[in-house]
């Protein structure tokens, strides 16, 4: 009898645990109360090849426009690290540009050389070499000039870089240090003649400017906008002069004393104002007569193959 009771107890315990397991295995009903829930988005099918996307460039571009070049530099470096191929090339060019704007010339030259090593076929050849010319110094600059002279001498952008170096040598008088001595000597003679001509012109303008307004009228031959300035100065000066003479004739010496001050001040300052205007026009004329002095990045997209730049110093 006792054995039968024990067997029944074991069977009841087993049935209890089995019922509990079945109850736990049943799905629970939440707030939807059995109604169908929202569909979940399907999982994308994995692509056979990884598709790389360029990092977001909105933030570094915004920093660059705001003038925060150090922060923009860090962001462009991050973009370059996360990008590939042409996108990485564009980001690295931006890194070099930010390094140049933050006066990190050595780092900018290193970045540009790394671009050359990594991306040999590129459409950014003029931009890279022009930036290298602005950031390289010493032997690296000498090697750059040699590469341009030997490989790209017929290219307009290369000629602009080479002539900029000739301009620097001509301005310093050390024409023996340039690859093109005849061009440097000719440019030096042209610069000396230009400076002499402009100095003579400024002296003449100052002499004519002793008569207020006359110096500006003389400069109006090349700049018609100064015609009104010269005529106004001449009219005001003559008006104060007539007022001074009229006050003296009627023995109104107090009024004469008031009128004589602007009359004399305008007469004394007129030559200097005319010479100052002539000096401003000289700077503009110099930029037009010598385009070699400006080294700006050309807007060219001609495909080319970049040669490697040697690291050992050579003489051009």
DSSP assignment of 16-53: HHHHHHHHHHSPP--TTTTS--PPPPPPPPPPSS----
Residue 20 inside a domain? The answer is no
Q: Residues 17-57: pLDDT tens digits?
A: 566 554 555 554 455 555 665 565 656 665 555 555 556 78
Q: Which of 60, 102, 62, 95 is nearest to 77 (CA)?
A: 95
Residue 30 inside a domain? The answer is no
Share of the chain above pLDDT 90, in %: 0
Residue 32 inside a domain? The answer is no
Q: Which tokens is 111 given? A: 């970045």
What residue has token string 């564009």? 90
147 membership: H or E segment, kind and range:
helix 138-151
Mean pLDDT of 162-188: 68
Residue 247 inside a domain? The answer is yes
Query: CB of 76 within 8 A of CB of 103?
Result: no
Gap between the Cα atoms of 108 and 142, Å rounded: 17
Query: CB of 295 within 8 A of CB of 161?
Result: yes
Residue where a domain terminates, one of 119, 138, 158: 119
Residue 200 inside a domain? The answer is yes
Same domain, 111 and 194: no
Going by pLDDT thresholds of 50, 70 and 90, the confidence category of residue 211 is confident
Coil, helix or strand for 188? helix
Same domain, 284 and 201: yes
Number of folded domains in the chain? 2
Same domain, 194 and 103: no
Instruction: Write out the residue range of the structural domain in which residue 87 sits.
Output: 58-119
Mean pLDDT of 157-173: 71
Gap between the Cα atoms of 248 and 252, Å rounded: 6
User: Higher model confidence: residue 147 or residue 228?
Assistant: 228
Q: Which tokens is 262 given? A: 């602007």
Residue where a domain terminates, one of 104, 119, 134: 119
Residue where a domain terminates, one of 119, 140, 162: 119
Gap between the Cα atoms of 270 and 157, Å rounded: 44
- Most distant pair of Cα atoms in the chain: their distance: 156
Please give the angle made by the CA atoms of 164, 165 and 166, to the nearest 5 degrees. 90
Q: Residues 230-278: pLDDT tens digits?
A: 888 889 888 888 888 888 888 888 888 888 888 888 888 888 988 988 8
> Residue 31: what pLDDT?
57
Residue 109 inside a domain? The answer is yes
Residue 127 inside a domain? The answer is no
Residue 262 inside a domain? The answer is yes
> Residue 293: what pLDDT?
67
287 membership: H or E segment, kind and range:
helix 253-289
């Amino acid at each position: 009898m006792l054995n039968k009771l024990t067997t029944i107890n074991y069977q009841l315990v087993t049935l209890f645990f089995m019922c509990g397991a079945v109850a736990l295995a049943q799905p629970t009903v939440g707030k939807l109360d059995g109604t169908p829930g929202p569909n979940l988005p399907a999982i994308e099918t994995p692509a056979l090849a990884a598709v790389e996307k360029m990092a977001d460039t909105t933030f570094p571009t915004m920093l660059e426009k705001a003038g925060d070049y150090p922060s923009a530099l860090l962001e462009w470096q991050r973009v370059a690290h996360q990008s590939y191929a042409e996108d990485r090339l564009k980001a690295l060019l931006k890194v070099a540009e930010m390094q140049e704007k933050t006066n990190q010339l050595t780092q900018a030259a290193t970045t540009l050389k790394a671009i050359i090593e990594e991306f040999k076929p590129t459409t950014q050849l003029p931009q890279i070499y022009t930036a290298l010319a602005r950031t390289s110094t010493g032997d690296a600059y000498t090697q750059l000039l040699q590469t341009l002279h030997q490989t790209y001498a017929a290219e307009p952008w290369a000629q602009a870089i080479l002539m900029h170096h000739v301009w620097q040598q001509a301005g310093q008088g050390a024409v023996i240090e340039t690859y093109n001595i005849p061009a440097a000597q000719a440019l030096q003679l042209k610069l000396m003649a230009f400076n002499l001509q402009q100095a003579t012109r400024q002296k003449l303008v100052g002499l004519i400017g002793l008569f207020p307004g006359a110096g500006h009228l003389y400069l109006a031959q090349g700049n018609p906008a100064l015609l009104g300035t010269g005529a106004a100065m001449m009219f005001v000066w003559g008006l104060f002069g007539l007022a001074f003479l009229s006050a003296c004739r009627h023995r109104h010496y107090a009024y004469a004393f008031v009128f004589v001050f602007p009359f004399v001040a305008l007469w004394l300052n007129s030559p200097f104002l005319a010479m100052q205007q002539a000096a401003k026009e000289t700077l503009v004329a110099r930029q037009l007569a010598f385009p070699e002095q400006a080294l700006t990045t050309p807007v060219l997209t001609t495909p080319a193959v970049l040669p490697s730049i040697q690291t050992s110093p050579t003489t051009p």
